[in-house]
């Protein structure tokens, strides 16, 4: 299969052209690309390139905003194709980024893969205070809670959420997934999380496995 | 312009200056700017001469109860304060704004928000988003499209610099309080690099395994100490960042170990700077303060903030010392050259006199005098040769040997390079000059 269309998609996204991004996603789907491939090799890899350029100061915050807009536009087209049509989801996941953290690309990616794996995902968005997490858990009663933090200043917010859950008696019968750029395996274990992977695309499978073993 | 002057005057040091700066911004850029208090209420508004805000007015009227705009102003303001820089964002309706805080006496008094602009042409996504946020617009797509089209389109790079500009203006208004904002910004940059370093270690760890752990750790500490003692602040911060990333990666589950390692590092740094000559009393004061801070630190972030402050402080203590010490060293070296130029002296010999490695002396010499060691030596020799050249009876070869050159033709070459004429010609010119006088 020629990769030309994915390359064109990459160019459109890096220019922040939302309309063209949508157009190329549609063409790629028509040409028979798997939605996951379009997501990882088209959208996500472009965002990684953009992040690198940002680090090297070749582009600035407004370019990131525009590119993120284009990515979200692309995901909007992909989403119905990514979701498995299940009559009964295999589990319910509540997901959000820690208070003070506005970086939600990683979280959104994990969300897409969780949905693809058959989970029902309730997204609390970014910059979520601890008590919002607690209230939402009481309300939606998920089996899994996903926490994301992309800064050293916000990663300890995950520990605070877990502590608050313990205090409220909500920690049992709940699997906690954590992730984000500064998060390491030992940090995840240290704060009492159940699931972690460096690669956001693998989290969904790990969650599925763990959920099977835990009989919640 | 509408303005609640009374509200604003209390919040700002120099109201007149504030007024002029914001007016200059809006007129020169044609982008509107508003001032909000901490509750998101508009306290001043400056309209760009040709900017059109009819879309905002319509939507605010229709969505009055929901207050999306106000919430986004408050949120943008809080973020800009936290980051210590301009916060650029999409408003809930997809328009671009940027916000900066105005601080007085360590307290945020108001926020300045510039915009709205668009960074792309109006497209259906923008229109549909507006309808989603305000369902009452369902049947008015054409109208909103035309209103949106009146908003100016600014490319991304201009938005970045317009945001920088607004921040610079705000800093003028804030006067000394801008220092706080700068510190916040620097700390955020330090933290962002820290995340990158941790991520880098994560990546290499999966590739190489645990083998490099110990050597890397010692290497990073040694690197840091070299940077500190040479007074290289930026380099030291970078090394500290790598050091922290490293200990965090291997000890993330145990904050106490991280604390111990950082305290060890601090003690080591204090030792090093006192060895170089910083007064012990100067550093012992901060030793107890930061020892306490580090022991009580609740998380990694607090630890890194504290050790960064220690590093900053120590390098500031060292800087004048390093400069004075360098100058003294160079003076000794210069003296030695001036007294011994007629001998066959080389860099190694001079370096031995000041107790430095020849390479380090050569670097320091260039830095302090702006000249290379050899160039300086040649200058001294040529200067001395002039006195001898004035004596008619002395052959060139003897002049050359007398001032330390081993070779007459090399002497002539250098002489010409410095004086612009050959030694013989110089001699003739000097004689002519003398006769003329």
Q: Which two tokens stand for residue A115?
A: 């949905």
Interface test with B, best of A153, A158, A198, A202 (most B CBs within 10 A): A153
Chain A within 8 Å of B96 (Cβ-Cβ)?
yes
Of residues A94 and B383, more confidently modeled: A94
Chain A within 8 Å of B120 (Cβ-Cβ)?
yes
Which residues of A are less than 8 Å from B157 in CB distance?
60, 62
Distance from A90 to chain B by nearest Cα, in Å? 30
Question: Whole-number mean pLDDT of chain B?
Answer: 86
Are A60 and B156 inside 8 Å of each other by CB?
Answer: yes
Does pLDDT of A1 surpass 70? no
Band (B5; pLDDT cuts 50, 70, 90):
low
Band (A105; pLDDT cuts 50, 70, 90):
confident
Are A182 and B157 inside 8 Å of each other by CB?
Answer: no
Neighbour tally for B418: CB within 10 Å: 15
Distance from B54 to chain A by nearest Cα, in Å? 23
Q: What is the pLDDT of residue A87?
A: 62
Q: Which two tokens stand for residue B405?
A: 């050159």
Does pLDDT of B91 surpass 90? yes
Cα–Cα separations (whole angstroms), residue B347 to B337, B341, B381, B411: 10, 12, 15, 19
Burial (0-12, 13-18, 19+ Cβ within 10 Å), A30: exposed
Are B199 and A62 inside 8 Å of each other by CB?
Answer: no
For residues A32-45, give the mean pLDDT. 90
Does pLDDT of B1 surpass 50? no
Does pLDDT of A93 surpass 90? yes
- CA dist., res. B28 & res. A183, Å (int): 45
Band (B211; pLDDT cuts 50, 70, 90):
low
Q: What is the pLDDT of residue B197?
A: 85
Distance from B229 to chain A by nearest Cα, in Å? 28
For residues A122 and A94, is the Cβ–Cβ distance under 8 A?
yes
Q: Measure the CA angle with vertex A172, ends A168 and A175; round to 5°.
A: 115
Q: Where are the alpha helices (DSSP H) in B230-279?
A: 233-251, 255-276
Q: For residue A56, report the phi and psi dihedrals to the nearest 5 degrees.
A: -85, 5
For residues B200-221, give the mean pLDDT. 72
Q: Which two tokens stand for residue B325?
A: 């010490």
Query: What is the residue extent of each domain of chain B?
Result: 2-177, 254-339, 340-436
Q: What is the pLDDT of residue B212?
A: 59
Query: What is the residue extent of each domain of chain A?
Result: 4-82, 91-214
Chain A within 8 Å of B254 (Cβ-Cβ)?
yes
Does pLDDT of B325 surpass 80? no
pLDDT tens digits for range B223-250:
898 888 887 888 899 999 989 998 888 8
Of residues B358 and A42, more confidently modeled: A42
Of residues A200 and B151, more confidently modeled: B151
Interface test with A, best of B31, B78, B125 (most A CBs within 10 A): B125
Q: For residue B116, report the phi and psi dihedrals to the nearest 5 degrees.
A: -85, 150
Superfamily (CATH H level) for B340-436: Homeodomain-like (1.10.10.60)
Chain A within 8 Å of B156 (Cβ-Cβ)?
yes
Burial (0-12, 13-18, 19+ Cβ within 10 Å), B232: middle
Distance from B113 to chain A by nearest Cα, in Å? 16
- CA dist., res. B174 & res. A90, Å (int): 55
Helix (H) or strand (E) holding A157: helix A156-168
Are A186 and B250 inside 8 Å of each other by CB?
Answer: yes
Q: What is the pLDDT of residue A212?
A: 86
Q: For residue B427, report the phi and psi dihedrals to the nearest 5 degrees.
A: -60, -45
Which residues 192-221 of chain B have a CB within 8 Å of chain A? 192, 194-196, 198-199, 202, 206
Percent of chain B with pLDDT over 90: 37
pLDDT tens digits for range A135-162:
999 999 999 999 999 888 899 999 999 9
- CA dist., res. B435 & res. B426, Å (int): 14
Does pLDDT of B172 surpass 60? yes
pLDDT tens digits for range B242-271:
899 988 888 887 889 999 999 999 999 998
Q: What is the pLDDT of residue B201?
A: 83
- CA dist., res. B59 & res. B140, Å (int): 12
pLDDT tens digits for range B378-406:
989 998 898 888 887 788 999 999 999 98
Select from B110, B152, B147 the least CA-distant residue to B22.
B110
- b vs e for A162-176, b when ≥16 Cβ sit within 10 Å of the residue's Cβ? bebbeeeebbeebbb
Which residues of B are less than 8 Å from A190 in CB distance?
252-255
B156-165, B289-298, B325-334: the lowest-pLDDT one? B325-334
Beta-carbon contacts of residue B401 (< 8 Å; ≥ 6 apart): none
Q: What is the pLDDT of residue B210?
A: 58
Q: What is the pLDDT of residue A58?
A: 93
For residues A199-213, give the mean pLDDT. 87
Chain A within 8 Å of B4 (Cβ-Cβ)?
no
Q: What is the pLDDT of residue B209?
A: 61
Are B156 and A17 inside 8 Å of each other by CB?
Answer: no
A70-84, B72-86, B107-121: the lowest-pLDDT one? A70-84
Q: Which fold has domain A4-82?
A: 1.10.1240
Does pLDDT of B175 surpass 80? no
Band (A92; pLDDT cuts 50, 70, 90):
very high
- CA dist., res. A199 & res. A179, Å (int): 9
pLDDT tens digits for range B275-324:
877 777 778 878 888 999 999 998 888 999 999 999 988 888 887 777 76
- On the CB side of B238, CA atoms within 13 Å amount to 7
Band (A63; pLDDT cuts 50, 70, 90):
very high
Neighbour tally for B82: CB within 10 Å: 14
Q: What is the pLDDT of residue B6?
A: 63
Does pLDDT of B2 surpass 50? no
Q: How far apart are the first and last CA of chain B?
A: 77
Does pLDDT of B3 surpass 60? no
Rank A41-50, B172-181, B196-205, B314-323 by mean pLDDT and report only the highest: A41-50
The CATH architecture one would assign to domain A91-214 is: 3-Layer(aba) Sandwich (3.40)
Interface test with B, best of A25, A61, A154, A180 (most B CBs within 10 A): A61
Q: Which two tokens stand for residue A15?
A: 């220019």
For residues B147-160, give the mean pLDDT. 96
Which residues of B are less than 8 Å from A162 in CB distance?
none
């Amino acid at each position: 299969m020629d990769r030309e269309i994915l390359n064109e998609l990459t160019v459109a996204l890096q220019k922040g052209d939302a309309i063209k991004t949508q157009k190329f996603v549609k063409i790629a789907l028509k040409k028979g690309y798997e939605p996951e491939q379009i997501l990882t090799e088209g959208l996500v890899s472009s965002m990684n390139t953009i992040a690198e350029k940002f680090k090297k100061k070749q582009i600035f915050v407004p370019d990131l905003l525009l590119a993120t807009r284009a990515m979200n536009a692309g995901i909007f087209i992909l989403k119905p194709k990514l979701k498995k049509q299940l009559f009964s989801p295999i589990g319910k996941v509540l997901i959000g980024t820690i208070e003070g953290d506005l970086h939600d690309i990683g979280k959104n990616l994990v969300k897409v893969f969780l949905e693809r794996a058959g989970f029902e995902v309730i997204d609390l968005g970014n910059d979520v205070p601890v008590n919002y997490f607690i209230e939402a858990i009481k309300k939606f009663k998920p089996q899994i809670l996903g926490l994301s933090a992309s800064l050293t200043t916000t990663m300890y917010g995950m520990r605070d959420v877990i502590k608050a859950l313990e205090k409220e008696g909500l920690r049992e019968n709940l699997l906690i997934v954590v992730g984000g750029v500064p998060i390491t395996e030992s940090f995840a274990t240290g704060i009492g999380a159940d699931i972690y992977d460096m690669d956001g695309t693998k989290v969904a499978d790990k969650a599925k496995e763990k959920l099977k073993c835990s009989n919640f | 312009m509408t303005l609640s002057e009374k509200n604003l005057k209390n919040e700002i040091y120099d109201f007149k200056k504030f007024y002029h700066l914001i007016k200059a911004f809006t007129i020169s850029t044609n982008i509107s700017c508003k001032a909000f208090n901490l509750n998101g209420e508009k306290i001043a508004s400056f309209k760009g001469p040709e900017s059109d805000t009819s879309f905002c007015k319509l939507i605010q009227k229709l969505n009055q109860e929901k207050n999306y705009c106000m919430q986004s102003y408050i949120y943008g303001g809080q973020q800009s304060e936290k980051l210590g820089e301009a916060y650029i964002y999409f408003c809930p309706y997809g328009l671009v704004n940027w916000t900066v805080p105005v601080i007085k006496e360590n307290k945020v008094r108001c926020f300045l928000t510039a915009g709205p602009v668009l960074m792309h042409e109006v497209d259906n996504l923008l229109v549909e988003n507006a309808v989603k946020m305000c369902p009452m617009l369902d049947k008015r797509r054409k109208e909103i499209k035309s209103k949106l089209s009146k908003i100016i389109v600014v490319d991304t790079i201009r938005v970045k610099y317009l945001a920088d500009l607004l921040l610079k203006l705000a800093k003028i208004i804030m006067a000394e309080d801008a220092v706080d904002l700068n510190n916040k910004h620097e700390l955020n940059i330090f933290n962002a690099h820290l995340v990158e370093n941790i991520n880098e270690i994560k990546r290499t760890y999966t590739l190489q395994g645990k083998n490099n752990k110990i050597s890397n750790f010692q290497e990073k500490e040694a690197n840091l100490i070299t940077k500190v003692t040479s007074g290289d602040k930026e380099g030291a911060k970078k090394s500290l960042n790598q050091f922290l990333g490293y200990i965090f990666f291997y000890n993330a589950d145990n904050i106490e170990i991280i604390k111990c390692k950082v305290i060890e590092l601090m003690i080591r740094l204090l030792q090093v700077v006192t060895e170089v000559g910083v007064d012990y009393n100067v550093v012992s004061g901060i030793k107890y303060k930061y020892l306490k801070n580090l022991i009580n630190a609740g998380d990694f972030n607090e630890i890194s903030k504290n050790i960064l402050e220690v590093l900053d402080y120590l390098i500031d203590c060292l800087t004048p010392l390093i400069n004075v010490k360098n100058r003294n060293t160079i003076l000794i070296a210069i003296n030695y050259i001036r007294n011994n130029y007629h001998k066959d002296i080389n860099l190694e010999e001079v370096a031995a006199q000041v107790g430095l490695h020849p390479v380090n002396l050569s670097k320091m010499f260039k830095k302090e005098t702006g000249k290379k060691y050899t160039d300086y030596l040649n200058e001294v020799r040529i200067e001395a040769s002039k006195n001898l050249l004035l004596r008619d009876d002395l052959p060139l070869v003897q002049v050359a040997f007398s001032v330390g050159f081993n070779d007459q033709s090399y002497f002539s070459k250098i002489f010409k390079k410095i004086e612009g004429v050959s030694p013989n010609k110089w001699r003739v010119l000097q004689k002519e000059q003398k006769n003329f006088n």
